Amino acid sequence: MQNKEITVTSPLFPSLDDFIPMLKDIWDRKWLTNNGHYHKELEKALAEYLGVEYLSLFTNGTLPLITALQAMRITGEVITTPYSFVATTHSIWWNGLKPVFVDVDEETGNINPEKIEAAITPHTTAIMPVHVYGTPCNTKRIQEIADIYGLKIIYDAAHAFGVKINGESVLNAGDMSTLSFHATKVYNTIEGGALVCHDAATKKRIDYLKNFGFAGETTVVAPGINSKMDEIRAAYGLLNLKQVDKAIASRKVVAERYREAFKDIPGIRMLKDIEGVRHNYAYFPIFISEEYGMSRDALYEKLKEYNIYGRRYFYPLISTFSAYKGLESANPSNLPVAHKLADQVLCLPMFADLDDEGVNRVINVIVNRK
């Protein structure tokens, strides 16, 4: 159906027939939150699937970022990227810390490790990189820099569910990694998230912090927050975990169709699969330059004429928003590559049940430019 709306993403839903008996069980247990049965099952299942040792569930993907900075007792300045979703930098601001922006790598959109050292000051205590579109950062080089200067690393891995480098989960890099299980992600619990760490003592502190700081019925060890995941979303997540591999395989097919269709079109650049990386195909960004003959924004509007909705993700840059544009590091002259990518990027529709007819519609508009 030519007029059917094609959105940039569509949620992965579990079978309703499978979900209803789990809801009945929750009703029978009369336990909706506070580390219930399905919550415990999902933490265990996710840790096993993702190849990590310690994982704490959260009610969304932003609170793990805020909590990670608290749990690591980060102070002063945090080096980060302007090319991300605003939650990355907001988490730094909410902790009373100063974000320091550095430019990104043009090939991946990830933070450029070679720009990090120049941004380090006596007040720098941490680096918060982002695995943009699920493409892994240069974790080895970032770790080398952190080790030299005694800095902590917290990865915003919101896009990197299931991503591995040479068989090893990207979530094991750095000191902590955070995940988002928002409805728009490869794997979702409707809303949700997780914080990954590497030892039992740190997980215990995280679990205290996400539950008001309670370490017992009458003992509060820190000024925590309420960010627990409920039983309904945990059950939903358990079901989605069973089908996420199939969903990723379907996404890969869509990505391959796009790459084949656009490979010889001047002015369209696409991200490449990296050898040794298990990608999750969370997004499919293209970068439009003047050789294409139509601006990124013109193509964005042209697609909408055909009821196709892409997303200029990430645009505008975080560093241009009013809360941050006064920072010295937010000066556009400091971030030329990030500004270039933000002005060129357009994420195309990408989801597991995007069918051939839908993919063909997207391809036809972009190839024919009309």
What is the tens place of the pLDDT at every residue in 70-111?
A: 999 999 999 999 999 999 999 999 999 999 999 999 999 999
Q: What stretches of 219-345 show up as alpha helix (H) in DSSP?
A: 231-241, 244-262, 296-305, 336-344
pLDDT in tens, 171-215: 999 999 999 999 999 999 999 999 999 999 999 999 999 999 999
Compute the distance between CA of residue 135 and CA of residue 141 in angstroms, rounded to an integer. Answer: 15
Encode 202-216: b = buried (16+ Cβ within 10 Å), e = exposed.
bbebbbbbbbeebee
3-state class of 122 per DSSP? coil
Percent of the chain with pLDDT over 70: 99
Task: Output Rg (C-alpha) for the chain, integer angstroms.
Answer: 21
Residues whose CB falls within 8 Å of the CB of residue 75, separated by 6 or more in sequence, listed in order? 97, 125
Q: Rounded CA gap, 161 and 180, in Å?
A: 8
Give the pLDDT confidence of 226-271 residue by residue, as tens digits.
999 999 999 999 999 999 999 999 999 999 999 999 999 999 999 9
Contact 69, 87 (CB under 8 A): no
Domains 16-241 and 244-368 share a fold: no
| Every domain of the chain and the residues it spans | 16-241, 244-368
Give the chain's end-to-end CA distance (angstroms, integer).
19
Q: Which residues contact 107 (CB under 8 A, 6 or more apart)?
A: 271, 272
Fold (topology level) of 16-241: Aspartate Aminotransferase; domain 2 (3.40.640)
Quick one: residue 76, left, alpha or beta (phi over 0 = left, psi -120 to 50 = alpha)? left
Give CA–CA dist 205/297, Å, rounded.
Answer: 46
pLDDT of the residue at 270: 98
pTM greater than 0.95 = yes
- What strands lie across the sheet with 168-169, from one edge to the other? 168-169, 164-165, 277-278
Q: Are 181 and 193 spatial neighbours (Cβ–Cβ below 8 Å)? A: yes
Token pair listed for 171: 């979530």
| Complete DSSP assignment for 44-99 | HHHHHHHT-SEEEEESSSSHHHHHHHHHTT--SEEEE-SSS-THHHHHHHHTT-EE
Q: What average pLDDT does range 121-146 have in this prediction?
A: 98
Contacts (Cβ under 8 Å, ≥6 apart) of 256 = none
Residue type, 149: Y
- Three-state secondary structure call for residue 154: strand
- Are 56 and 206 in contact, with CB atoms under 8 Å apart? yes
Preceding peptide of 11 cis, ω within 30°? no
Cα distances from 341 to residues 78, 282, 335, in angstroms, run 23, 18, 10
For 50-69, the pLDDT digits (tens) are 999 999 999 999 999 999 99
- Yes or no: say if 189 and 181 are a contact pair by the CB < 8 Å rule: yes
Strand partners, 130: 156
What CATH architecture applies to the domain 244-368?
A: Alpha-Beta Complex (3.90)
Q: How confident is the model at residue 2 (pLDDT cuts 50, 70, 90)?
A: low
> What b/e readout covers 244-270, taking b as 16+ CB neighbours within 10 angstroms?
beebbebbeebbebbeebbeebebbbe
1 pLDDT exceeds 60?
A: no
Phi, psi of 220 (to 5 degrees): -115, 120
The string of pLDDT tens digits covering residues 312-367 is 999 999 999 999 999 999 999 999 999 999 999 999 999 999 999 999 999 999 99
Note the maximum CA span of the chain.
Answer: 67
